[in-house]
């Protein structure tokens, strides 16, 4: 990738996320070129490169590269992914990586960037479990007899009451006992 291509990719990234305070890169020629460094300085972005022959100084990036390589090797070996394109495998990795909690911060990188939790397939599964729990609870509740409003109104009118108030029903919060998944949910 040339310095000009790097600048163009950076413009796309900065258009989405805003200008960063600083950028740390390795010593690749596309990063040390005058084109790239001028682009950063014109946009008020401080720039730093890692020391030559010391990749550990850019530890976060090195850990990402290591995780990516390991994951890609696993995907290639896995029969499930044999039909997937290389771009699909990369996108799956990035999605998983960005939505996994980091050890040091205990939050996902996507939630740190966007300030909200992004929706994943696991969230969809959790919604189905909650929906199933609500259905089990609904089936476990006793049926409440419905009385037509006209019947209530006629009874009150016959007693000489023209105005009436409806009392607030007693609070009822059933508790589930047993496991919803095994069909043993009961209201207690």
15-34 pLDDT, tens digit per residue, is 988 899 999 888 889 999 99
End-to-end CA distance of the chain: 66
**Among the ranges 50-59, 98-107, 122-131, which has the highest mean pLDDT value?**
98-107
Confidence category of residue 168, pLDDT binned at 50, 70, 90: low
Q: Could you tell me if 9 and 23 are in contact, meaning their C-beta atoms sit under 8 angstroms apart?
A: no
Instruction: Give the span between the Cα atoms of 109 and 97, in whole angstroms.
Output: 8
- How confident is the model over 64-82, as pLDDT tens digits? 888 888 888 887 777 666 7
Q: List residues bridging with 47 in a β-sheet.
A: 23
CA dihedral 74, 76, 80, 82 (to 10 degrees): 180
- Enumerate long-range contacts of 76-80, CB under 8 Å, 24 or more apart: none
Alpha helices in the chain (DSSP H): 3-17, 29-32, 34-42, 59-77, 86-98, 109-114, 121-140, 149-158
């Amino acid at each position: 990738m040339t310095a000009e291509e790097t600048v163009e990719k950076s413009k796309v990234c900065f258009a989405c996320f805003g200008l960063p305070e600083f950028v740390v890169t390795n010593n690749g020629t596309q990063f040390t070129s005058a084109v790239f460094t001028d682009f950063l300085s014109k946009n008020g972005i401080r720039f730093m490169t890692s020391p030559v022959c010391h990749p550990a100084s850019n530890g976060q990036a090195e850990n990402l590269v290591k995780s990516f390589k390991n994951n890609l090797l696993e995907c290639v070996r896995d029969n499930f992914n044999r039909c997937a394109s290389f771009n699909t495998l990369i996108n799956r990795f990035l999605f998983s990586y960005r939505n996994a909690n980091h050890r040091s911060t205990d939050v996902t990188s996507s939630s740190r960037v966007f300030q909200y939790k992004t929706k994943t397939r696991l969230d969809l599964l959790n919604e189905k479990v909650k929906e199933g729990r609500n259905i089990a609870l609904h089936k476990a509740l006793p049926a409440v007899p419905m009385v037509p409003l006209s019947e209530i109104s006629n009874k009150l009118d016959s007693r000489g009451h023209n105005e009436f108030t409806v009392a607030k029903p007693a609070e009822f919060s059933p508790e589930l006992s047993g496991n919803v998944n095994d069909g043993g949910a009961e209201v207690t």
